[in-house]
Amino acid sequence: MLRFLTAGESHGKCLTAILEGLPSGIILSEEDIDRELQRRQQGYGRGGRMQIEKDCVEITSGLRHGRTIGSPLCLIIHNRDFENWKEIMSTRATDTTDAAAVSKPRPGHADLPGGIKYRHTDLRNILERASARETAMKVAVGAVAKKLLAGFDIQLNSYVAAIGDASMESHPDLTEAALNRIEASPVRCPDEAAEKRMMAVIDAAKAAGDSLGGIFRIIIRKVPVGIGTHVHWDRRLDANLSRALMGIQAIKGVEFGMGFHAARELGSRVHDEIFYRNGFYHGTNNAGGIEGGISNGEDIVISCAMKPIPTLYSPLRSVDLSTKAPYAAGIERSDICAVPAAAVVGEAMAAWETANALMEKFGGDNINETLCNYRHYLAYVQEV
């Protein structure tokens, strides 16, 4: 079983992650991870922090001479502007009044419930950790999972299907050209006309001091039939993918295939009929590649809904935690829309969960052992 934990505050010294359960022998470099970190930092509608971030990772254990060695992998991403936050984020006890203390909870954030729960009067103790800055480390962790998936020839991609009410009409084939277009698009959208509409709604929201959310889609191709299981709720592939994706800040819904729409349709229009020609296949893929918690050999198709960014340049009303006086929530800097970046984070989390499910099925302490088990299984599937 694969596990990871992250630590770190938004303006703290660094983000850290420890990844456990990776087989030895996976080829990995800091550059592999940095490439993914750069992808998260793109996107039309991002705020000021992207200019100072330019994230890069340091691997401090679990890797030797370019290959994992089976011990825990430790990743560190240093915060470039920590110098400016050294005093505010100091780990030492201080008796001076903190000028950066926050007593005003922002609507849509963890500030108020977190402050009450942890008995903090300074809400910075909540917002620093609740911040989506942590998604940088999620992307780094996902980059490692992608290196594991590469051995299985599994392809994992994402694109933005909607920002606010600007959406794509149809879903594209992920050809090489479409994938290149997605990577080059400021909103990670394969459709040029939809891209223009998305950028226009972001411009309009910005001008109005407002923010936007949207929908991104993740497609995982070449996952063999039989990953995940129906036997327990916490080993279902769809359940685990959902949990990983819902664990991303601001993600409020996850759908597989036809998703919520299936609830309004007749069964005859929903369920994918089964055919056989040199192997089993389905006539459609409304299930999104998973039946009974098990991959069925079709593409795994997941849509994720992201709520609008909660920090608005046109402030929302709130109440001061200590004085109980009403106020309008002011901001330092914030994204207007971060759906393209969230799609990259979604890819990372989906990669991690897919890798976890593969390791559960194929096991192995060295990647060659894992891949050997995998090839035997593929040979069996071909004969069914």
Ligand X SMILES: Cc1cc2nc3c(=O)[nH]c(=O)nc-3n(C[C@H](O)[C@H](O)[C@H](O)COP(=O)(O)O)c2cc1C
Q: For binding to ligand X (CB under 6 A), which residues are involved?
A: 47, 108-110, 130-132, 135, 248-250, 307, 309-311, 334-335, 338, 341-342, 345
For ligand X, the closer CB: 126 or 355: 126
What is the Cα gyration radius of the chain? 22
For ligand X, the closer CB: 249 or 295: 249
Measured from the CB of residue 242, what is the shortest distance to ligand X in angstroms?
A: 14
Measured from the CB of residue 214, what is the shortest distance to ligand X in angstroms?
A: 11
Tokens linked to 247: 């664990």
For ligand X, the closer CB: 139 or 367: 139
The one-character DSSP state at 154 is -
SS3 of 178, please?
helix
Burial of 41 (0-12, 13-18, 19+ CB in 10 A): middle
For ligand X, the closer CB: 123 or 262: 123
Measured from the CB of residue 110, what is the shortest distance to ligand X in angstroms?
A: 5
Neighbours of 103 (CB within 10 A): 17
Residue pair 340/187 in contact (Cβ under 8 Å)? The answer is yes
For ligand X, the closer CB: 106 or 236: 106
Distance CA 136, CA 375 (A): 34
Measured from the CB of residue 16, what is the shortest distance to ligand X in angstroms?
A: 19
Which residues 6+ apart lie within 8 Å of 98 measured at CB? 88, 122, 124
Measured from the CB of residue 138, what is the shortest distance to ligand X in angstroms?
A: 9
Q: Which of 97, 24, 101, 12 is nearest to 66 (CA)?
A: 24
For ligand X, the closer CB: 63 or 339: 339
Measured from the CB of residue 211, what is the shortest distance to ligand X in angstroms?
A: 8
